[in-house]
Amino acid sequence: MDFEEDLIRIATEGLKQYGMRVDDAASGNELLHRWVNVQLKLIPRMPREVELSPRIPSSLAAIRRSADRELARQSLEMICEKARAGDDLNPYLSKSVVKEDYTDAIFADWGVYHLHLNEIAEGEYFAARADYWLFAIFPGGRALLIDIRHHDTTQLLQRDLLEIINSTWPEVLATHRLVGITGQTRDTASPETIRVFRKAGINAVQAIGSHVYAPPGGGLTTARTSVRVRIETDRLLDAARRATAWATDCPTEIRADIKENGMEPPQVLDLRLVLHEGQFLVLERTTGWACPLFVA
């Protein structure tokens, strides 16, 4: 019984389902990091309240070519409809979301997604590359649509995306506010500074209005990977190791809990770590008894 091995197995199987390589990883830790990197970039499926910033209508109307404008409008409506229904929004993300070890810098830095405003062809999972992006965030059961902009990588460096979030949904950034700091002496808002800092794995605070904010996406490591991914990878490894020690030391307690739930515990417990409907469970395979890896 080794729940860390189970965890690596779950990550390996998940990566294979995405069509990603697993044989080039130097260790199980690296495989797990790769899997977590994908999981955190995906938009969780759940019904959401859709809210549009005031910029969305004007940006849509400003698209010059009528065909492009109509395609963007129809795609926007489809995304809103799917968000409300709890359908899968990930087909509108870039295909790079399932590219080995790819870090989406704007998401790692600011927690902002960019979705392609295009149709999904029959038989395809991802939408085709689009001329226009929809920038959005998805906190909890909300879909907050920030702006529509032309497909241009310089748009990923525009600090005014955070300003729109702050002016429209100030509560979203409030949890990232640095208390006691009222200003900064160095420019961190220009696109060039943001580009250079992200490339170097340097995290910059942003002064917006009268407050200063830490990176809402968690930031980047000096290896230019996501801080959140590293933290979540370490959290999973630590939990798996602790659960292994607990299951090894406390079989009597586990058998007693199985019996309390109306089942006859086996002489030899067959415990595995499994992922079920997005939740990690310690499963006793003979009886079907299970307990969550993480207890709220």
How does pLDDT run across 256-278, given as a tens digit for each residue? 999 998 889 898 899 999 999 88
Residue 3 resides in a domain: no
3-state DSSP assignment of residue 172: helix
Give the residue from 194, 218, 242 where a domain finishes.
218
Residues 170 and 242 in one domain: no
Residues 65 and 211 in one domain: yes
Contact 134, 89 (CB under 8 A): no
3-state DSSP assignment of residue 193: helix
User: Model confidence at 158, in pLDDT bands (50, 70, 90)?
Assistant: very high
Residue 29 resides in a domain: no
Average pLDDT, the chain: 92
Q: How far apart are CA 281 and CA 188, in angstroms?
A: 43
Residues 263 and 126 in one domain: no
Could you tell me the sign of the dihedral formed by the alpha carbons of 172, 178, 181, 186, in that order? Answer: negative
Give the residue from 218, 253, 280 where a domain finishes.
218
Q: What is the CATH number of the domain that holds 110?
A: 3.30.2310.20
209: left (phi over 0), alpha (psi -120 to 50) or beta: left
Within 8 A by CB and 6+ apart from 214, the residues are: 176, 178, 203, 205
Residues 64 and 197 in one domain: yes
Residue 12 resides in a domain: no
Could you tell me the sign of the dihedral formed by the alpha carbons of 122, 127, 131, 132, in that order? Answer: positive
Nearest by Cα to 197 from 237, 156, 161: 156
Residue 7 resides in a domain: no
Residue 1 resides in a domain: no
The parent domain of residue 284 ranges over 230-292
Residues 252 and 121 in one domain: no
Give the residue from 218, 250, 266 where a domain finishes.
218
Residues 146 and 241 in one domain: no
User: Model confidence at 295, in pLDDT bands (50, 70, 90)?
Assistant: low
Confidence (pLDDT) at 180: 83
Q: How far apart are CA 69 and CA 75, in angstroms?
A: 10
Number of domains present in the structure of the chain: 2
Residue 296 has pLDDT above 60, yes or no: no
Q: How many CA atoms lie within 13 A of 198 on its CB side?
A: 23
CB atoms within 10 A of CB 215: 19
Q: For the purposes of burial, counting CB atoms within 10 Å of the CB of 275, is it exposed (0-12), middle (13-18) or buried (19 or more)?
A: middle
Segment 88-98 shows an average pLDDT of 93
Residues 197 and 145 in one domain: yes
Residue 168 resides in a domain: yes
Within 8 A by CB and 6+ apart from 76, the residues are: 56, 60, 117, 134, 145, 148
Query: How do residues 204-263 score in pLDDT, each as one tens digit?
Result: 999 998 889 999 999 999 999 999 999 999 999 999 999 999 999 999 999 999 999 888
- C-alpha dihedral (125, 131, 132, 138), degrees to nearest 10: 20
> What letter would DSSP give residue 137?
E
Residues 153 and 274 in one domain: no
Q: How would you classify the pairing of strands 211-213 and 142-150?
A: unpaired
Residue 272 resides in a domain: yes
Residue 11 has pLDDT above 90, yes or no: yes
Query: How do residues 28-70 score in pLDDT, each as one tens digit?
Result: 899 999 999 999 999 999 999 999 999 999 999 999 999 999 9
Query: How do residues 160-203 score in pLDDT, each as one tens digit?
Result: 999 999 999 999 999 999 988 776 667 788 999 999 999 999 99
Residues 234 and 115 in one domain: no
> pTM (2 decimals)?
0.89
Residues 128 and 239 in one domain: no
Residue 119 resides in a domain: yes
Residues 65 and 180 in one domain: yes
User: Model confidence at 124, in pLDDT bands (50, 70, 90)?
Assistant: confident
Within 8 A by CB and 6+ apart from 74, the residues are: 119
Within 8 A by CB and 6+ apart from 256, the residues are: none
Residues 118 and 184 in one domain: yes
